[in-house]
Amino acid sequence: MSASAAASAARQAQPAWRDPSSWTKAADVVAILIALSLPWSTSLVSIFVVFWVIALTPTLDLDAFVASLKRAICVLPVALFALAAVGMLWSDAAWSARTYALSPVSKLLVLPLLLYHFERSTRGIWVLVAFLVSCILLMGMSWIVAFYPSLALKPEAQYGVPVKNYIDQSQEFALCAVALAYPVMTLLRMGKKWSAAVLASIASLIVVNMIFVTVSRTALVTMPIMVAVFAMLHLKWRTNLAIFLVAIVLALLAWLSSPRLQSTTETFFSDYFYYKLQDKPTSIGLRLEFWKKSLRFFADAPIVGHGTGSTRGLFERAAASPVGDKALASSEVIGNPHNQTLNVAVQWGMVGVILLYGMWLYHLLLFRGEGLVAWIGLLVVVQNIFTSLFNSHLFDFHEGWMYVLGVGVAGGTVLGAERRASVPEGAVRP
């Protein structure tokens, strides 16, 4: 009897609850549930993550898992969490503020587990498809709520936003719309025009929703960058030039035909001038104020920062005194400077920034290969890097889990495919 046949017989002889393959399937199913619930609920994601870790535990080969932790793609996110944990020691914030600031960093500890699991599972693509399907359903619900606001799933919902907020929704829609460009291109090259048309129609509906219903300014700035990355990697320069010219025309037509898009883009300029002339706390004005002060805080403690959870206290001490009842941008106090680099730099200095950028770099390199899954993983990292110029998206719940789930599932799938391809034909696979 061969080794594989003997292993199969042994698995059949033991109860299902002791069979690692059964737990592997269970972990895959729970991961799919996480992806399905991410666009809709924060509490469900938290619950399913706990169940996923429980389902994963019986499948762990400790020696293999410890070996996988030695890779830079795992070491760097764990090191960033460790720095945040140690950084609690030199922070002058209350311990409640320190633990609160540590909590959003802890999701990075799930990344090595996801990479380990999906390097061995072949169902990673199911998780990615589940997220796409969930976002398509959310897009349909967004159109419904735009016309019937009373059907929103939360009280006082924003226009066309059935759950959560327009920033989270825009991040999801932008990721899905640009990610679909790769399979559309692949299907067209294979001559499968109808399948390509279906996926192109879905992407178009998502973009139309962003144009006529609601979109965040962060998505407006970063989505063209994501499209440019696709064009540079997968299209010829003549095609890129034609697409660029068509995109300019379409963008102009979209802007002219969508009052909501006009309003969103016009606030870029009005927010800036109100801030500069009147110190008014506009969205852009507040960001500029937060960034300016954060750079001063970083200069005061450039090596290891002020410690975990120290940001709010620093802003409280630097806030200008209000003038009567007038709200001023310089008087605002916040615990998040709305920039991922500055958020890290203020708390953990240059050491934290090096770990953050190193993690992004190694995760980008992880997806330098070809294929749909590698493209999705690359897009997740690129989106997080550029949206983190305007928000601390790695530490935000929704966007942070998009990054952890996307990199973990796609990265593990890519690593698994490479490992299986390296095993000689006929050999027993590990």
Q: Is 15 exposed, middle or buried (0-12, 13-18, 19+ CB in 10 A)?
A: exposed
Instruction: Look up the pTM and report it.
Output: 0.86
> Which residues touch 269 (CB under 8 Å, ≥6 apart)?
none
Q: Which of 94, 170, 175, 84 is nearest to 395 (CA)?
A: 84
Residue range 119-131: average pLDDT?
94
Task: Specify whether the CB–CB gap between 262 and 419 falls below 8 A.
Answer: no
pLDDT at position 150: 83
d(Cα 77, Cα 110) in Å, to the nearest integer? 9
What is the CA 392 to chain-centroid distance, rounded? 11
Q: Which residue has the higher pLDDT, 104 or 252?
A: 104
Q: What percent of the chain has pLDDT over 70?
A: 79
* Banded pLDDT at 401 (limits 50, 70, 90): very high
Q: Which residue has the tokens 């997080």?
A: 384
Alpha-carbon distances, residue 180 vs 267, 381, 426 (angstroms): 30, 16, 36
Question: What's the number of CA atoms in the CB half-sphere (13 Å) around residue 341?
Answer: 14
Q: Which residue has the higher pLDDT, 316 or 54?
A: 54
Compute the C-alpha angle 234/374/189, nearest 5°.
Answer: 40
3-state secondary structure of 219: helix
Residue range 132-148: average pLDDT?
92
**In 298-309, which positions are buried (b, 16+ CB within 10 angstroms) versus exposed (e)?**
beebeebbbbbb
